[in-house]
Structure 1
Amino acid sequence: MSSEEGLSSTITDWLFINSWWLLLPFIMLLVVAAFIVAFVLLLYMISPLISPKPLKLNGAHVVVTGGSSGIGKSIAVECYKQGAFITLVARDEAKLLQAKKEVEKFAINDKQVVLCISVDVSSDYSQVESVIKQAQEKLGPVDMLVNCAGLAISGKFEDVEVDRFKSERRLNSQKLMEVNYLGSVYPTRAVITTMKERRMGRIMFVSSQAGQIGLFGYTAYSPSKFALRGLAESLQMEIKPYNIYVTVAYPPDTETPGLAEENKTKPLETKLISETSGVCQPDQVAKIIVRDAVQGNFNSSVGPDGYMLSALTCGMSPVTSITEGLQQIVTMGLFRTIALFYLGSFDSIVRRCMIQREQSKAADKRE
């Protein structure tokens, strides 16, 4: 072999060896892609085994607390449209009777019934247990419980009366933890035993986007809604083996009497921050919430902002579909980046309002 042939052979061998190193990243990428595709296909194959069977509302007994107005009444209407029997629970008997008339307009058959029960679901568990028993005797076991009773109070931390944070009851004092948290604990406790015995059921907690992110003005309200998330996650782990599924709904600002009352005391900062996501209609919110509860989805969100918040705050919350889990994994980084811009905007709003307030005080002193 001549020296030229030897040199050519050496160069060829060197190029062959190094070409493999150049191709190695692409080969690894193909292997990873193939693995991901195979993994996704496997997940889709087993997903029917872990996804709950949808609840049929036709002929089902649905109990709605806070059902005399707002989102609660709209949820009752949506369920009634699908053939459910409804028990409306709220404090104001006059509003309940009016709501009953409105819901009955949407009957799809002559057998449907709307039952009204006036009780404060947050005051005395024995009373709540008694009215739930009464409802079950008339309309049968509860198939779905919608915990929608609640109220909102907004205001700066130092301006909110301390009593508003407590769970004890005093005359003419509305307590957020009592209504928003215990008002969901008591009805749930009253139906859970029967649901376990029947090995079926849906329990829905209507929280709020303020139950996913703490915002200015909600130092009293947000904790009471955050508490529902902890209750729901713990409860879901206990009752999932019994084929009972929990849904936590996180509606944004919705045009209801409750929002109108809240706006009376809402600080400027809170108003400006809330305006970034707009106001939804109760019928729109109800359709989404009922759909998610029927499917057994743990999270129920409304709109792009709601979807992003649910993905960002999913943490260790359960999933009821592989698709949901994959979406959370894929979108987490992007949504966190977007959320940082939102947080920066909110901080800027609070800072500007503080500066304007201080300048106004300074001007008043000079006068």
Structure 2
Amino acid sequence: MFWSFLIVTLVLLLFIYIAGRLKPKSATLAQKHVVVTGGSSGIGKAIAVLAAQQGANVTILARNKLRLEEAKTEIQGHLKPNGKVQSFSVDLSTNYDDVKKCVTEAEEKFGPVFMLVNSAGTSVSRSFQDLDASEFKKLMEANYYSAVNATKASIDSMVEQQAGRVVFLSSQAGQIGLFGFSAYSASKFALRGLAEALQMEMTPHNVRVTVAFPPDTDTPGFQHELQGKPKETMLISETAGLLKPQDVAHTIISDSLKGEFTSYQGIDGW
């Protein structure tokens, strides 16, 4: 028994050592091109602001033109000297050609994308019986296909440069299915599967994938989610508290730059 335990321990320590050696060195965003979908509000905007503070040139993509301009103005106030920001209004979820056109134009101005943060998405919280069937398709388009389209539009540049970061914003409801989140959880679980497969394909190209699982965060999307949210769901969600988007953004950016595959918030996320 003792020798079996010793062998297992030594194998585990060897695995940890090798994994540590294979992990890429932490990258920097200075003078890099960062693209953030859903960058006009919430966690996406907080990530765009943080990227600007770290010296990146930032592109934000979203649908609402007014919020895009407001976010762009706010981000400009955080840019480093010679830093730049631009915005594009586009529906990320339905037309890949439109998304590809925006990313191509963004790269012509700011250079190849180094980091793509897929933050665009929405949430609806209802019991399965109360959800309209169309909500399942709507959330899959907004939360999953938007990420597929933006990633497809950006990944070739990363492979060509042999460097890059791709971030998918899932959710704690993408780690475990929760009451009232049958449509939302399904769309966020899909991102985990996409991220795992993509990481295997991108590892030889020095492109790292991170999937983030933030809990409830004080954003406009969260406030919208509260409308009609079942009491049971609210009681479950309250146990994890309510985080600030700036804190969530800091963790996600830090984990992505370090090449971490998963990004958690606090002990509940872990």
TM exceeds 0.5? yes
| Distance (Å, rounded) in 1 between the aligned partners of 2:106 and 2:228 | 37
Change (3 A) 1:269 1:38: closer
Report the counterpart of residue 103 of structure 2 in structure 1.
132
Residue 258 (1) aligns with residue 221 (2)? yes
Point out the more displaced range, 257-266 or 46-55. Answer: 46-55
How far off its partner does 1:292 sit?
Answer: 0.6
| Superposed CA offset, 1:187-207 (max 9, x none) | 000111121111111000000
User: Equivalent residue of 2:27, what SS?
Assistant: coil
Report the counterpart of residue 280 of structure 1 in structure 2.
243
1:95 to 67, 82, 85: 67
Change (3 A) 1:41 1:224: closer
Report the counterpart of residue 26 of structure 2 in structure 1.
54
| Superposed CA offset, 1:186-242 (max 9, x none) | 000011112111111100000000011111101111100000011111111111111
Map 1:279-318 onto structure 2 (within 5 A): 279-307=242-270
How far off its partner does 1:43 sit?
Answer: 4.3
Map 1:151-166 onto structure 2 (within 5 A): 151-166=122-137
Question: Identity rate of aligned residues, in percent?
Answer: 50
2:143 to 142, 162, 180: 180
| Superposed CA offset, 1:63-121 (max 9, x none) | 00000000000011111111111001110111111111111222232x10011111111
Map 1:58-137 onto structure 2 (within 5 A): 58-109=30-81, 111-137=82-108
| Distance (Å, rounded) in 2 between the aligned partners of 1:261 and 1:208 | 16
| Superposed CA offset, 1:275-315 (max 9, x none) | 111111100100000001111111000010001xxxxxxxx
Point out the more displaced range, 193-202 or 137-146. Answer: 193-202
| Superposed CA offset, 1:153-175 (max 9, x none) | 01011111111112xxxxxxxx1
| Distance (Å, rounded) in 1 between the aligned partners of 2:232 and 2:84 | 45
| Distance (Å, rounded) in 1 between the aligned partners of 2:106 and 2:160 | 17
How far off its partner does 1:185 sit?
Answer: 0.2
Moved >2 Å (runs of 4+): 31-49
More helix by share: 1
- TM-score, reference length from structure 1: 0.71
Change (3 A) 1:45 1:207: closer
User: Equivalent residue of 2:182, what SS?
Assistant: coil
| Distance (Å, rounded) in 2 between the aligned partners of 1:199 and 1:243 | 5
| Distance (Å, rounded) in 1 between the aligned partners of 2:94 and 2:193 | 21
User: Equivalent residue of 1:143, what SS?
Assistant: strand
How far off its partner does 1:135 sit?
Answer: 0.2
Residue identity opposite 1:163 in structure 2:
S
Report the counterpart of residue 145 of structure 1 in structure 2.
116
| Distance (Å, rounded) in 1 between the aligned partners of 2:32 and 2:167 | 15
Report the counterpart of residue 231 of structure 2 in structure 1.
268
**Number of residue equivalences:** 270
How far off its partner does 1:39 sit?
Answer: 4.3
| Distance (Å, rounded) in 2 between the aligned partners of 1:304 and 1:206 | 18
| Distance (Å, rounded) in 1 between the aligned partners of 2:59 and 2:91 | 14
| Distance (Å, rounded) in 1 between the aligned partners of 2:162 and 2:229 | 44
Point out the more displaced range, 134-143 or 117-126. Answer: 117-126
| Distance (Å, rounded) in 2 between the aligned partners of 1:107 and 1:293 | 20
| Distance (Å, rounded) in 1 between the aligned partners of 2:184 and 2:92 | 18
Residue identity opposite 2:113 in structure 1:
V
1:192 to 127, 152, 155: 155
Rg larger in structure: 1
- TM-score, reference length from structure 2: 0.96
| Distance (Å, rounded) in 2 between the aligned partners of 1:45 and 1:75 | 32
2:192 to 229, 235, 241: 229
| Distance (Å, rounded) in 1 between the aligned partners of 2:119 and 2:50 | 14
| Distance (Å, rounded) in 2 between the aligned partners of 1:34 and 1:66 | 50
Report the counterpart of residue 323 of structure 1 in structure 2.
none
